Structure 1
Amino acid sequence: MCVCPMYRQLSKPQSIGTRVPMADSSPHLHVAVLAFPFSSHPGSLLRIVCRLAAAAPDVTFSFYTTEESNKSLFSVPAPPNLKAFHLSDGVPEGYVFSGKPQEAISLFLEAGYQSCKKAVQAAEAEIGRRISCLMADAFLWFSCDLAEEMGVAWIPVRTGGVLSLSVHVYTDLIRDTVGINALAGREDEIVKFIPGFSGGVRLGDLPSGVLFGNLDSAFAVMLHKMGKVLRKAKFLAVNSFEGLESEASEDLNFNFTKLLYIGPLNLTCSAPATGPSSFSDEYGCLQWLDSQKPGSVAYIGFGTVGTPAPDELVELANALEARATPFLWSIKDSLKKHLPEKLLERINRTGKMVPWTPQVQVLAHVSIGVFITHFGWKSVMESITAGVPLIGRPIFAEQHLNGWVAEHVWRIGVKVGVLRKDATIRALDLVLLEEGGKKLKENAEWLKELAHKAAGKNGSSTRNFDSLVEFIRAQKNLQV
């Protein structure tokens, strides 16, 4: 089991452009790891680094994210070869947020290159070893330039899927072919020219910022730049597994030396990235599930960043009541307050509402029949590894595309769009009661088998992790 470090304050950095000699002339390696400090990204990347640190105890890993992110990630003592450093969040002193979408992301990205540059130099000075390799969340496109400036190898890591990555790699092709003007009313149009989607994909389900939404937002520009710069990567580590996204993989392997599948991370890096609480069951969820019939319970969890609007939560609760569906709902008190008191009293007779669940263990429980979620990639992977069908209400980013793939490519789920009582009832009936639901379950079980095989002792993801360790070690002779 890998554990994680207490965060550290940064020492005053020097310019990377004048890299001073290190006092320590040890041949040991130093890998810098840059995280995108939003949503589940830093936790997913930290899981990978924890496994690498355990596999390569003679290599030092310095992990970089914002102070706030570090505080939430690092709560227990660290192995000696894994150390954490702060990046600037880019928020000026005294700054008052306006409430605009993606404002925090925009500020972080504005400071991103210079912040990472200073933090890496600080780590070199404190640890006494030059960086030999730069690993980064693929979202941080500028990490490629930083690696080139430092004269070290660059390892981008994709915490999402390959099919959605294909869309970002081919954004210019999509825009040139479809156009970016007068798109209103074309959301339901199916196109088949995007590599990886020979069966077609709905335009309205492409990630926001590709054709629809604010194409000039910091988030959209970041993804566009990512799609361009990743062509320079020697290889790309991906949180997916062989056989899941084969068509896109075949195409993208022409653009990268190698797609290195190392997922699903909840199997390949199963030790908790946030301390013991990841496995705790303080609200008795598993015990409650023990009292339910096999395959009967709807597990509901929309993550911590985006959630359906209050009126949609009420519609979902009304659907659960109408069908008397047993449910386990992970919902914060701040959202729970939007549900009418009498409705809460009624639905609590058949279900359980808690502010936290051990999601991986919950999904693996025999009583779970469906996972109602936002189609975030982490949740989709955890559902697949448990063999559980999905009902999804996408909210932002790539969740709409993940929903399309789950419903139309893998055929393991149903996308409902906006939550409404009647549509949710139809989805629950389909998955839990009708013949079509059995097929969804069979498909989910088939993908579960593939995932566990890939993550097994001699599986492809396990071998790829070994290759990643070998690549890191091979940088020893490349140090300046």
Structure 2
Amino acid sequence: MTKPTTDDHPHVAVLAFPFGTHAAPLLSITHHLAALSPSTHFSFFGTPSSNSFILSSNTNLPPNVKPYDVWDGTPDGYAYTGDVQEEMGLFISAAHESFRKGVDRAVEESGRRVSCLMSDAFFWFGKEMAEEIGGGVMWVPFWTAGPHALSSHLYTDFIRESFAGDVTQREDELLSSIPGMSRVRVCDLPEGVVFGRLDSLFSQMLHKMGQALPKADAVFINSFEELDPTFTNDLKSKLKCCLNIGPFNLISPPAQVPDTYGCIPWLDKQQLASVAYVSFGSATIPLPHELVALAEALEDRKVPFIWSLKDNAKVHLPDGFLETTKFQGIVIPWAPQAKVLGHKAVGVFITHCGWNSLLETIVGGVPVICRPFYGDQRLNARMIGDVWKIGVIVNGGVLAKEAMIDCFDKILLQEDGKQMRGRIKSLKDLALAATAYKGSSSDNMRELSRLVSSPCK
């Protein structure tokens, strides 16, 4: 059991999910909350590898934030096969016990009893752990993706009952009975709802999460209420307290990163809204024939481009492409994405539709060509293409030359693109208003700070 203390100052235990792009935004939010409440102590828990990675770019933590390493679940002498699901499974199986031991250590070192558990939403056991600690400890989880993806997990049992049987025969049916999803198809749902291995550890984690989140004292999301009021209102009816605090890159802008490859000076020489920016995130890459199709479409239409592509993937580009397009575009292993999307020369973003990228393109005011891969990306793409109408989804979900040419023409040259830019500018204006001092997200961030910084009941 966690050792009680006589110190009534708040102590927030922050439990990070150490895979993908989960831990870094939670650390950033912790940093922001620590600045808002200097008297509150924050203990941040992650695996050694995750902490080492995210702390390397967050060296100036406030004095009231202390990171701790917890066990990643790997038994001594264990040999990994290279499957990330295997690594994730070992961590999840040990997470509850690992975090409890970490919290006990932080309590002993700080002399403060824990008053709040702030965790990644994936940790469905957060409520149980808070009750184990006792003393009125709150559980406040963070959902890193969008409100529509969160809704799909809250409605998982309802969806499974509604589409029982061979779901592949009904994958094009609309989820019109769920608020906000009248344009969403069954096949757009993330794996673990009705598709994929529903008995896998990851699918079970998501299912348990959807059942547990209504018990949380509050859930906070990196989104803004005005993005989709239907989802906002429905989530507020399903959760005790739902706080949209984003786009977080506007609430608390990240540290400036160097433009190592000279993207911005290159963009300064291009025409207004003429450049295609291509990036599929850090974890995904299209198949080789898709890279060829995209390269050929760019070259055929002579679209200026910045392509963020890892060096080991360049071998899949067409022979001679880099040489023949050296005055048309640049292929680099990394780009300062937020800066690039905020530049007036960028006219279209070709993306996997990760949530952070979607928010960055809204803030940048840039229409989207969607090539989703997994998770919430298909759902994000459907919202982009058919609900908010700020972009297009590639036909068949695969990059093909003629289809890409049509997308470039539509967004960069035709009236459709002009209308998309108008709609995305409206969303950008709403995001800016939400994160202004009197805006909804700023108010919600202050409420989040008040909640997590409250002393034990």
Distance 1:93 1:427 in 2: 51
Does structure 1 retain, via aligned residues, the 8 Å contact 2:368–2:392? Answer: yes
Residue from 445, 451, 455 that aligns with 1:465: 445
Structure 2 counterpart of 1:118, which letter? K
In structure 1, C-alpha distance between the alignment counterparts of 2:8 and 2:449, rounded to whole Å: 16
Given residue 343 of structure 1, which amino acid in structure 2 is its aligned partner? Answer: F
Partner of 1:189: 173
Partner of 1:13: none
Give the match's secondary structure for 2:324: helix
CA distance in 2, matches of 1:418, 1:195: 29
Question: Residue 263 of structure 2 corresponds to which residue in structure 1?
Answer: 285
SS in 1 for 2:198: coil
Q: Which amino acid aligns with 1:301?
A: S
Shift of 1:77: 3.7
Deviation at 1:196, TM superposition (A): 2.4
Shift in Å at residue 21 of structure 1?
4.2
Residues 170 and 227 in structure 1, CA contact (< 8 A), matched pair in contact too:
yes
In structure 2, relative to structure 1, the CA distance for the partners of 1:194 and 1:410 (3 Å cut) is same
Match of 2:346 in 1: 368
TM-score, normalization by structure 2: 0.95
Match of 1:70 in 2: 51
Q: Any conservation in 2 of the 1:389–1:440 contact (CA below 8 Å)?
A: yes
1:208–1:348 CA distance, 2 compared to 1 (3 A): farther
Aligned twin of 1:56: 37
Superposition deviation, residue 182 in structure 1: 2.0
Given candidates 374, 380, 386, the residue that maps to 1:402 is: 380
Question: What does 1:14-413 correspond to in 2, within 5 Å?
Answer: 17=1, 19-22=2-5, 25-75=6-56, 76-100=59-83, 102-151=85-134, 152-179=137-164, 181-197=165-181, 199-272=182-255, 279-413=257-391
- Worse-superposed segment, 363-372 or 412-421: 412-421
Deviations 1:407-441 (A, max 9, x none): 11111111111111121111111111111111111
1:170-214 deviation per Cα after TM superposition (whole angstroms, max 9, x unaligned): 1111111111x32334332323112321x2311111111211111
Using the aligned pairs only, state the percent identity: 47
For residue 200 of structure 1, give the secondary structure of its aligned residue in structure 2.
coil
SS of residue matched to 1:260: strand
Evaluate the alpha carbon distance shift between residue 315 and residue 120 of structure 1 in structure 2; reply closer, same or farther with a 3 A threshold.
same
**Whole-angstrom distance in 2 between the partners of 1:185 and 1:437:** 34
Q: Distance in 2 between matches of 1:130 and 1:297?
A: 53
2:32–2:252 CA contact under 8 A, matched in 1: yes
Deviation string for 1:55-100 (max 9, x for gaps)? 1111111111111111111122432101111122222233222344
Partner deviation per Cα, 1:359-379 (whole Å, 9 max, x = no partner): 111110000101111110000
User: Which amino acid is the alignment partner of residue 223 of structure 2?
Assistant: S
1:89, 1:313 → 2: CA distance? 35
The answer to whether the 8 A contact 2:352-2:372 is kept is yes
CA contact (8 A) 1:141 1:226 kept: yes
Counterpart Cα distance in 1 of 2:414 and 2:169? 33
Structure 1 match to 2:436: 456
Contact 1:298 1:328 in 2 (8 A): yes
* Aligned residues of 1:193 and 1:200 also touching (Cα < 8 A): no
Aligned-pair distance for 1:101? 5.7
Deviations 1:421-468 (A, max 9, x none): 121111111111111111111110000000001011211111111111
Q: Residue deviations 1:145-185, cap 9 Å, x none?
A: 11121121111111111111111001111111111x32334
For the aligned residue pairs, the C-alpha RMSD in angstroms reads: 1.5
**Are the equivalent residues in 2 in contact too, given 1:315–1:419 (CA < 8 A)?**
yes
Instruction: Specify the code of the residue in structure 2 equivalent to 1:252.
Output: L
> Retained in 1: the 8 A contact 2:43–2:65?
yes
Deviates more, 1:89-98 or 1:66-75: 89-98
TM-aligned CA distance change 1:83 to 1:457, over 3 Å: same
| Shift of residue 45, structure 1, vs aligned partner | 0.9
Where 1:27 maps in the other structure, the secondary structure is coil
Kindly provide the CA deviation profile for residues 116-162 of structure 1, in whole angstroms up to 9, marking residues without a partner as x: 11111111122221111110011111122111211211111111111
Deviation above 6 Å: which 4+ runs of structure 1?
Answer: none
CA distance in 2, matches of 1:458, 1:344: 49
Instruction: Classify the secondary structure of the residue corresponding to 2:227.
Output: coil
Which range is displaced more, 289-298 or 70-79?
A: 70-79
Check 1:363–1:109 CA distance in 2 against 1; reply closer, same or farther (3 A cut): same
8 Å Cα contact 2:215-2:240 kept in structure 1: no
- Report the CA distance shift for 1:347/1:87 in structure 2 as closer, same or farther (over 3 A): farther
Cα shift readout 1:383-422 (whole Å, capped 9, x = no counterpart): 1111111111101101000100111111111111111112
Return 5+ residue gaps in structure 2 as ranges: none
- Cα distance in 2 between the residues matched to 1:379 and 1:326: 20
**CA–CA distance in structure 2, aligned partners of residues 100 and 211 of structure 1:** 23
Matched, 1:425 2:410: no
